[in-house]
Chains A and B, each alone.
Chain A
Amino acid sequence: MVVIAVTGKGGTGKTVISALLVHFLSRNHNLLAVDSDPDSNLPEALGVTPKKTLGEIREVFQASRDEMGTMNKEQWLEGKIYSEAITEADNFDLLVMGRPEGEGCYCFANSLLRGVLRRLMRHYDVIIIDTEAGLEHFSRGTISGADYIVVVTDMSKKGLSTAKRIKELSSELKLNFKKIFLVGNRIMDGGGEVIKSFADEEGIELLDLLPYSEEIVKLDVKGEPIVLMDENSDYARRIRKIASRLVGDGNGKDEH
């Protein structure tokens, strides 16, 4: 199992990159895509209509737990997650974490969730998590850890300072990740130099500097799934390279 968390400042294109990684990697791997950013729209980027979010299931649990009698609550929650929170797409499963909890105590619900997710996740070859810069689900332990953290940044100063914060945060959270990578996105007119020197300073491996893509913008404007983009475009080819760099050659072999 390889867990890849894709993160970065909002608007840098991390959802586009996550979606394309899911799209390419799910051809050869048993894959789970996790949307753990309340503001993101990974399902739309993938062209999948999601079922319920994990947050919604948790609310149903909170509301109905008093009526469960001697039923086992963990089994109840597990059944709901497997049947109502996981969306089966053609080549992969999708789990949307949804909004954070409301008022009241979620200690028990979250403790059960952690157990269910841990058992569920270990059966996938690859897990791609599109996550917000705060890494909330990691800090809460709902998702127990990531092998690789891919930080996406654009040329903006803010994008880079968020990247720096994520690096610090992931060390603080003791995520036990093997490596943290940087991907520059929407790079124009030699803007890559800033990112390169940032990567050097911070000691983060730079995976690639992705160009600004007219095609992505067009799909975005039309509201069409990003995975419809031309597979042979420069952008898509570069993502495929990143994918095999992260996971291996598609035969389950890890390049690291």
Chain B
Amino acid sequence: MVERKKIEIPADVKKIESVGEEAEFPFDISPMYEGERIRKNEMHVELGGTEQPGFELVLALPEEEVEDMKVTVVGPDLEEMEEGKAYPYAMIYYVAGSQVETDLEPVIERRNHDFQNYLEGYMHLNQRYDIWIRIGKGSVKKGLKSLVQIAKATMMLFKNELPFIEKIEALYITDATLVEKTLNEVAMPIYEERDARVEALHDEDVDEFYSCTLCQSFAPTNVCVISPDRPSLCGAISWFDGRAAAKVDPEGPNRAVPKGDLVDEVGGEYSGVNEFAKEESGGEYERIKLHSFFEYPHTSCGCFEVIGFYMPEVDGIGWVHRGYAEPAPNGLPFSTMAGQTGGGKQIAGFLGVGISYFRSKKFIQADGGWYRVVWMPKDLKERIAKYIPDDVRDKIATEEDAKTIDELKEFLKKVNHPVVTGVVRPVDGKKITDGWVEEEEVVEEAVAEEVEAPAQPVQQPVQMQPMQMQPMQMPMQLPLQLPQLPAQQAGGVRLVIKDAKIYIDKIVIKKPEEKKKGGK
């Protein structure tokens, strides 16, 4: 971690210091100034922006190191600046308080944008190393002389609005050399560190997730739950975006969803999410597992960037994105699958996701994660290649390897994809599929010995569900009436299926003689 300490100010640079609260400001302070745009011909000076470097940074420091309400301005102050020109600009805040931790730095830093935009005649745009400020001529005319006034007003707002900040000190720099140096040596490493921390943030590290109901006008029962490990289906909203939006408008489209109790760690099921799903879907869904493909999967709105589809023939999952117009190996293009799955339905066997979900460490972990993935378009695969584990990356086919199920089977066998021999899910080391060979045996057994015993409990393929048919919920223990088998078999079959959803597009019953070896 980058060490948090005060910035060293070289002795030979001009600086001014001021301590204590300002009694009066020559400008108005109110949220109504948010969005105020200062036009070029009304501007006194520009700070940062496209022409000059600029950044803002909040550093959490021990209490004794922070001198409350102190401002230091290093470099030329407003009065020394030439009208109409752009200058380098760094705004650094040292903050302290019993609850102030490094993790809070970005949260506090983001508010600089809000608070500075409350200042009349002061336009603040962008964030981090991109900041762009314009100070209006009007404010200067009204008595704005120094950046000290800006810093004091901003600090006052920080302390009023965020009471956990007990002490705050500001360092504003307009000296070009020091801005550049501090940006490169202190700020950039900290921004990078923050982004790295995001990658390491997981569902278990936070107390609440966020919902998104922006799509409910299209998909009334859709319940998008956004967690650190699961961004929104449209790919647009991360957990951080959800948090930011919920803070601004707690009753808006992104609301906090308390996690509640952990029900299923592997599948990513939480009591809070279930309750929320029930409420938001109008009772349509009672359970949602965030990282499961087959069991209580997340609903799919219609906005999703990518759709996953189960292919029972290979016992694997394929993914196709919106931009790929050709049919996937299952014979269906994105649009057809999306049309059937969208609308806020929870459909086992199909799952809409955002492209950024492929980056998740928990990516469909309950169903084997990447080791269950058998196909995706080349475009999509290239975009996310670095997130695919090395040992399976080359085993996932693209349209260059396979365009049909038969070609896909061939390819998977050739590369010895995990689905061929059985998938062991990395999350807990459990073997979750039996692989093709065993599956064939099961089928053979069921056919050959059907006189003798009830059929084996059906394995994964029971979850298959070709399209063009509404899902049908079977009551438990429903005796399934099979069509009369050709005469040569006597005795018949009794098939008991428990707690299953069955989707059948077509049943082909063949005479045993037609059975082939090799699964093709």
Q: Give the chain A neighbours of B32 by CB distance below 8 A.
A: 122
Q: Does B215 contact A (CB under 8 A)?
A: yes
Q: Judging by beta carbons under 8 Å apart, are A123 and B241 in contact?
A: no
Asked whether, in the complex, the Cβ of B198 is within 8 Å of the Cβ of A83, the reply is no
| Residue B235 lies at the interface, judged by CB distance under 8 Å to chain A | yes
Closest chain A residue to B236 by CB distance? A108
- Tell whether, in the assembled complex, residue B236 and residue A119 are in contact, meaning their CB atoms are under 8 Å apart: no
Expressed in whole angstroms, the Cα–Cα distance for A103 and B234 within the complex equals 11
Among B36, B39, B50, B132, which residue has its beta carbon within 8 angstroms of that of A88?
A: B39
Say how far A61's CB is from chain B's closest CB, in angstroms: 9
Residues in B whose Cβ lies below 8 Å from that of A90:
41
Task: Give the contacting residue for B34; candidates A69, A76, A104, A119; CB below 8 A.
Answer: A119
A120 to B33, CA, bound (A): 10
Q: Is the CB of A123 within 8 A of B36?
A: yes
Within 8 Å CB of A75, what residues of B?
Answer: 110, 113, 125-127
Query: Cβ of B322 and Cβ of A79 under 8 Å apart?
Result: no
Report how far A76 CA is from B194 CA in the complex, Å: 17
Report whether B126 and A79 are in contact in the complex, using a CB–CB cutoff of 8 Å.
yes
**Nearest CB of A to B255, in Å:** 14
The 8 closest A-B pairs by CB, nearest first: A119-B35, A105-B303, A105-B234, A108-B236, A79-B126, A107-B214, A69-B195, A79-B125
- State whether B110 touches A72 (Cβ < 8 A): yes
Residues of A within 8 A of B341 (CB): none
A-B CB contact pairs (8 Å), 24 listed:
A65-B235, A69-B198, A70-B194, A71-B127, A72-B113, A72-B127, A73-B236, A75-B110, A83-B50, A93-B39, A104-B234, A105-B233, A105-B301, A105-B305, A107-B236, A108-B214, A109-B236, A111-B214, A116-B35, A118-B35, A120-B35, A120-B37, A122-B35, A123-B37
By beta carbon, the residue of chain B nearest A119 is B35
Which chain A residue has the least Cβ–Cβ distance from B252? A111
Q: Which residues does chain A contribute within 8 Å of B154, judged by CB atoms? A: none
In the assembled complex, the CB of B147 is this many whole angstroms from the nearest CB of chain A, namely 21
The answer to whether A44 has its CB under 8 Å from any CB of chain B is no
Interface string of B396-432 (1 = CB under 8 A from A): 0000000000000000000000000000000000000
Give chain A residues whose Cβ lies under 8 Å from the Cβ of B253: 111
B138 → chain A closest CB, angstroms: 12
A156–B36 Cα gap in the complex (Å)? 43
- A93 to B130: give the CA distance in the assembly, Å: 23
Is A224 in contact with chain B by the CB < 8 A criterion? no
Interface residues on B, range: 35 or more
Task: Please tell me if B356 contacts chain A, counting CB pairs below 8 Å.
Answer: yes
Whether, in the assembled complex, B5 has its beta carbon less than 8 Å from a beta carbon of chain A, the answer is no
Query: B37 touching A93 by the CB < 8 A rule?
Result: yes
CB distance B305 to A104 under 8 Å? yes
Residues of chain B with a CB closer than 8 A to A70's CB: 106, 194-195, 198, 240
CB-based nearest B residue for A109: B236
B244 within 8 A of partner (CB)? yes
Q: Which residues of B contact A82 (CB under 8 A)?
A: 37, 123, 125, 132
Interface check B40, CB cutoff 8 A: yes
Which A residues lie within 8 Å of B132 (CB)?
79, 82-83
Least Cβ–Cβ distance between B224 and chain A, in angstroms: 10
A104/B303 in contact, CB under 8 A:
yes
Q: Would you give the 0/1 interface string for B305-326, flagging 1 where the beta carbon is closer than 8 Å to chain A?
A: 1000000000000000011000
Q: Kindly state the separation between the CA atoms of A78 and B113 in the bound complex, as whole angstroms.
A: 11
Task: Judge whether A66 and B355 touch: CB under 8 Å.
Answer: yes
Given contacts A69-B198, A73-B241, contact A108 B232 (CB under 8 A): yes
Min CB–CB distance A212 → chain B (angstroms): 37
**B302 — which chain A residues lie within 8 A by C-beta?**
105
Q: What chain B residues lie within 8 Å of A125 (beta carbons)?
A: none
- Does A59 interact with chain B (Cβ within 8 Å)? no
A86 at the interface (CB under 8 A from B): yes
B278 interface contact, C-beta 8 A = no
CB distance from B241 to the nearest CB of A (A): 6
Per-residue A-contact encoding for B126-152, CB less than 8 Å = 1, 0 else? 111010100000000000000000000
With both chains docked as a complex, state the minimum distance between the C-beta of A97 and any C-beta of chain B, in angstroms.
17
Q: Which residues of B contact A65 (CB under 8 A)?
A: 235-236
Q: How far is the CA of A61 from the CA of B323 in the complex (A)?
A: 17
Q: Does B237 interact with chain A (Cβ within 8 Å)?
A: yes
**Which residues of chain A are near B240, meaning CB under 8 Å?**
70
Q: Looking across the interface, which residue of chain A has its beta carbon closest to that of B241?
A: A73
Chain A contacts of B233 at CB under 8 A? 105
Binary per-residue interface labels of chain A (106-128) against chain B in the complex, 1 for a CB within 8 Å, 0 otherwise: 01110100001011111100000
- Could you tell me the distance in whole angstroms from the C-beta of B417 to the nearest C-beta in chain A? 27
A71's contact among B128, B237, B303, by CB below 8 Å, is which?
B128
Instruction: Specify the chain A residue showing the minimal Cβ separation from B305.
Output: A104
Verify if A74 is at the interface (C-beta below 8 Å from B).
yes
Assembly CA distance A69 to B303 (angstroms): 21
Q: Tell me the bound Cα distance from A70 to B228 in angstroms.
A: 11
Interface code B99-122, partner A: CB below 8 Å = 1, 0 otherwise? 000000010001001000000000
A residues less than 8 Å from B244 (CB atoms): 72, 74
CA–CA, A66 and B234, complex, Å: 11
State in angstroms the CA–CA spacing of A230 and B126 once bound together. 43
Q: Are B322 and A66 in contact (CB under 8 A)?
A: no
A74→B195 CA distance, assembly (Å): 18
Q: Which residues on A sit within 8 Å (CB–CB) of B322?
A: 103-104
Q: Which residue of B lies closest to A73 (CB)?
A: B241
Question: Most B CB atoms within 10 A — which of A62, A65, A78, A120?
Answer: A65
Distance from A59 Cβ to chain B, minimum over Cβ atoms (Å)? 13
B359 and chain A: residue at smallest CB distance: A66
